[in-house]
Amino acid sequence: SAVISQKPSRDICQRGTSLTIQCQVDSQVTMMFWYRQQPGQSLTLIATANQGSEATYESGFVIDKFPISRPNLTFSTLTVSNMSPEDSSIYLCSVVQVYGYTFGSGTRLTVV
């Protein structure tokens, strides 16, 4: 299965700033996904990142707040913009291939 390198693993950020999270996959994948996991909660899909087209956002998530880049088939970034304490969560990327889904190790974000 694919191996995903997700960076940073954690960060503490000031409110009003932005953080960009990166995911690098060791093989080419068509679809990448970004999830948010709020404290004590389950995972919620933010958007699907497709190479060569704009990301598709789920209800409740907008591009201005969570811009996504997908410059090639092995890399994607998620930016959390103009952060507030409510954005404190774990953010995970994921890919799907023939044999199933693989998740990055997550980015634990704390906004103070």
Task: Please calculate the CA angle 99-33-106 and round it to the nearest 5 degrees.
Answer: 95
Looking at beta carbons only, is 20 or 88 nearer to other proteins? 88
Judged on CB neighbours under 10 Å (0-12, 13-18, 19+), 54 is exposed
- Could you say which of 27, 104, 110, 111 contacts other proteins (CB under 8 A)? 104
34 binding other proteins? (CB under 8 A): no
61 binding other proteins? (CB under 8 A): no
Q: Which stretch binds other proteins (CB under 8 A): 18-26, 61-69, 75-83, 92-100?
A: 92-100
C-alpha to C-alpha distance for 41 and 80, rounded to whole angstroms: 19
93 close to 48: Cβ distance less than 8 angstroms: no
C-alpha to C-alpha distance for 56 and 50, rounded to whole angstroms: 8
73 binding other proteins? (CB under 8 A): no
Binding site residues, other proteins, CB under 8 A: 6, 31, 33, 37, 41-45, 48, 90, 92, 94, 96, 100-106, 108
